[in-house]
């Protein structure tokens, strides 16, 4: 369980893919503290298990399903990645509850700079996610907790403040970029419950 508050931007040192698994080596300095082998780290919003600690970083193994469902398959050496350690009991919930389970990969359609902020429109991969997004609701984009500013036809918009632009990878967004999307888990449970009751 995470909060969508990115602790640092790490860097991909290496990624090696095979038919069964990919091995991802990420440089980190802040998030390495207090995380042991077997622990979890959110990498661009994807919950991964640490299989090896290395000097100033981690090694992860990524299965075929995760590669097929997320943007991690597109990572290259040197790519920046948002990193966050799991939420600890008694810790501050600064964003919203984020599981690190990606619901789909969206495509940035437009980035509009408004003084020192940015308004970003993201196209959804399918209409299946539309019922799970509401105005002023929560959404995680590449692991960053954001507020939905507006909804469109198979799309949503978010506003990025200067701090978010500076301390996450979202400051590098441009049209055509693909991003991991995780909708609010509460909405998923509500929709599932209604579906089982036959009211949707």
Domains and CATH numbers, the chain: 8-84 (2.40.30.20), 104-196 (2.40.30.20)
CA distance 75 to 26: 11
Does the pLDDT at position 12 exceed 90? Answer: yes
Choose between 89 and 146: higher pLDDT.
146
**Averaged over 89-111, what is the pLDDT?**
86
> In angstroms, rounded to a whole number, what is the distance separating the alpha carbons of residues 122 and 154?
9
The pTM for the full model equals: 0.92
Give the pLDDT of residue 159: 97
197 band by pLDDT with thresholds 50, 70 and 90: confident
State pLDDT tens for residues 13-25: 999 987 788 999 9
pLDDT at 148 over 70: yes
Q: What is the mean pLDDT of residues 20-45?
A: 95
Count CB neighbours of 89 within 10 A.
Answer: 5
62 vs 18, residue with greater confidence: 62
pLDDT of residue 52: 96
Q: For residue 92, what is the DSSP state?
A: -
Q: Please, what is the average pLDDT of the chain?
A: 93
When pLDDT is cut at 50, 70 and 90, the band that residue 11 belongs to is very high
pLDDT of the residue at 187:
78
Q: Which tokens hold the place of 62?
A: 């990524």
Residue range 176-189: average pLDDT? Answer: 91
pLDDT of 89 strictly over 70: no
Instruction: Give the whole-angstrom CA distance, residue 185 versus residue 8.
Output: 24
How many angstroms separate the CA atoms of 161 and 94, rounded?
15
Are 185 and 99 in contact by the 8 Å Cβ rule? The answer is yes
Q: Which residue carries 């590449």 as its tokens?
A: 142
Identify the helix (H) or strand (E) that includes residue 83: strand 80-84
Q: With 70 as the cut, is the pLDDT of residue 10 above it?
A: yes
């Amino acid at each position: 369980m995470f909060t969508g508050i990115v602790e640092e931007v790490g860097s991909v040192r290496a990624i090696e893919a095979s038919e069964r698994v990919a091995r991802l080596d990420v440089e980190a300095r802040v998030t390495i503290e207090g995380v042991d082998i077997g622990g979890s780290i959110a990498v661009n919003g994807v919950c991964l298990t640490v299989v090896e600690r290395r000097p100033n970083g981690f090694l992860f193994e990524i299965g075929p399903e995760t590669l097929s469902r997320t943007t991690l398959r597109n990572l290259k050496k040197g790519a920046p990645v948002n990193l966050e350690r799991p939420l600890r009991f008694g810790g501050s919930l600064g964003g919203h509850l984020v599981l690190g389970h990606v619901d789909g990969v969206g495509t940035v359609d437009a980035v509009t700079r408004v003084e020192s902020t940015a308004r970003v429109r993201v196209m959804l991969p399918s209409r299946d996610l539309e019922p799970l997004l509401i105005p002023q609701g929560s959404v995680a984009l590449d692991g960053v907790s954001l507020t939905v500013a507006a909804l469109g036809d198979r799309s949503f918009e978010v506003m990025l403040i200067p701090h978010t632009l500076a301390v996450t990878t979202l400051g590098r967004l441009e049209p055509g970029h693909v991003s991991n999307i995780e909708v609010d888990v509460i909405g998923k449970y509500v929709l599932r419950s209604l579906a089982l009751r036959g009211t949707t």
